[in-house]
């Protein structure tokens, strides 16, 4: 007679969750999960990973000193001397919070600090890049890039992973995004802790966001997908060991289950992951739309080395060619297609909501989390800008600067790295599937 342990039962349920529930056609589009997995993991991920290592894309200019515009900046664990007072922990479970507040604060301070190491050669190159960029025509607002507090950060030295940033500060950021700045069904309950299970059965169990128009459903799903992607990165690069002053990061299956397992999340986990795929399709569509902009000879991914620049652009165009071959792109023409006045009002509301969310990223207390939050929201914002600029892109001049549509260096770096993060998330999901299968 077979005896099934609790652990074996969990493994079987988790495999079922990933293999059977995260499958089929996505809502609001005609693409299926399996097609995206194959396309991304074999064609896109290997190339986008290489692209992120090129000099043009590894350095991101960002202002991490901008104060939070919505509430007093408590700087949770992001300052050099981290005290227990600015790091209150809301203890929902004693088992999940075994470290003291002060110890957690010090840990988050250490893991969340930005590595600002840059060589003198890199600094000289940045000055050259600035002179080159200033000579270009810009027709969009350059946000952080023009601030005296903005500085280049090497993304390869500051990977997105677990930093210990959690508790009331982190939950307040996401709670503010969902409750105050995101279109969502009013019946959907969002607790302070987004990882806590909902009260009762989710109103999203049958159909996604009933009562919301397509545009508002899309907005909500984009934010949910971004949240899911970030959580997958934290689960895949979790702090496993701090021994001997050399932290070791790796996949944490228990943490992944806590955030996405069907039973743990009362059915929300699968939907969160499907929203990740939906976000992937939106940014994939934006990249297919903007390809003509980069295919022009006048566009140069300038770093000062003609050989490096040529290789980088060739790799970028290879990625665009693969993206254009994808047969099941999201149809953005169905958005804002109603009455002109109503569509214009909704489009502006859409833009303002997203702009407010991007400002909330200045309230993230962990410097490294703030860096990646700002980069990924700017990348998504750039993707939306592209989708809303189809006519301007179609009228681009082949041999002269763009008068109706332009992307700054910062927008380009954010766009490709943000998409790279989504591609990595889907690839990491495949890794979690394999790990769960091995535990059978």
The pTM of this model reads 0.79
Residue 366 bears catalytic tag = yes
430: annotated binding-site residue? no
Active-site residue, selected from the candidate residues 29, 31, 68, 369? 369
The DSSP letter of residue 24 is S
* In the chain, domain spans: 33-87+117-184+220-439
Residue 156 has pLDDT above 60, yes or no: yes
Active-site residue, selected from the candidate residues 29, 31, 209, 366? 366
Over range 302-329, report the average pLDDT. 94
- Tell me which residue of 129, 177, 141 sits closest to 378, measured CA to CA: 141
163: annotated binding-site residue? yes
- In tens, the pLDDT along 80-114 reads 322 222 222 222 232 333 334 444 545 445 555 66
Residue 375 has pLDDT above 50, yes or no: yes
224: annotated binding-site residue? yes
Residue 199 has pLDDT above 50, yes or no: no
The DSSP letter of residue 361 is G
Residue 77 bears catalytic tag = no
271: annotated binding-site residue? no
Distance CA 246, CA 77 (A): 20
- Tell me which residue of 406, 303, 229, 382 sits closest to 59, measured CA to CA: 303
Higher per-residue pLDDT: 250 or 131: 250
Strands (DSSP E) along 242-356, which ranges? 248-250
| SS3 at position 59 | strand
């Amino acid at each position: 007679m077979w005896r099934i342990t609790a652990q074996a039962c969990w493994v079987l349920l988790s495999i079922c969750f990933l293999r059977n529930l995260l499958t089929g056609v996505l809502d609001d589009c005609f693409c299926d999960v399996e097609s995206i997995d194959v396309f991304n993991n074999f064609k896109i991920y290997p190339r986008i990973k290489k692209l992120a290592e090129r000099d043009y894309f590894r350095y991101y200019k960002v202002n991490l000193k901008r104060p939070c515009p919505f509430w007093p900046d408590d700087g949770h664990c992001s300052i050099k001397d981290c005290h227990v007072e600015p790091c209150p922990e809301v203890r929902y479970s004693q088992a999940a919070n075994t470290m003291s507040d002060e110890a957690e604060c010090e840990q988050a301070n250490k893991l969340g600090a930005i590595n600002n190491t840059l060589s003198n050669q890199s600094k000289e190159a940045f000055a050259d890049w600035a002179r080159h960029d200033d000579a270009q025509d810009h027709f969009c607002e350059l946000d952080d890039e023009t601030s005296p507090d903005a500085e280049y950060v090497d993304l390869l030295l500051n990977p997105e992973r677990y930093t210990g940033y959690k508790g009331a500060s982190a939950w307040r950021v996401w709670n503010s995004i969902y409750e105050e700045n995101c279109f969502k069904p009013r019946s959907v309950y969002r607790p302070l802790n987004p990882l806590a299970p909902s009260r009762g059965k989710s109103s999203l169990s049958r159909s996604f966001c009933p009562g919301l128009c397509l545009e508002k459903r899309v907005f909500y799903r984009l934010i949910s997908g971004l949240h899911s992607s970030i959580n997958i990165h934290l689960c895949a690069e979790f702090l496993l060991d701090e021994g001997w002053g050399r932290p070791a990061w790796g996949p944490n299956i228990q943490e992944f289950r806590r955030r996405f397992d069907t039973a743990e999340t009362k059915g929300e986990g699968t939907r969160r992951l499907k929203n990740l795929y939906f976000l992937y399709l939106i940014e994939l569509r934006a990249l297919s739309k903007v390809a003509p902009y980069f295919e022009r000879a006048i566009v140069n991914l300038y770093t000062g080395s003609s050989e490096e620049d040529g290789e980088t652009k060739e790799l970028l165009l290879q990625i665009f060619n693969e993206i254009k071959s994808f047969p099941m792109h999201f149809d953005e023409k169905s958005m804002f297609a109603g009455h002109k006045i109503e569509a214009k009002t909704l489009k502006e509301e859409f833009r303002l909501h997203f702009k407010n969310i991007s400002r909330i990223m200045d309230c993230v207390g962990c410097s490294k989390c703030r860096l990646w939050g700002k980069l990924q929201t700017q990348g998504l914002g750039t993707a939306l800008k592209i989708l809303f600029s189809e006519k301007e892109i179609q009228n681009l001049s082949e041999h002269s600067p763009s008068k109706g549509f332009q992307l700054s260096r910062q927008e380009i770096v954010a766009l490709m790295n943000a998409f790279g993060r989504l591609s990595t998330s889907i690839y990491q999901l495949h890794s979690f599937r394999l790990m769960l299968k091995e535990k059978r």
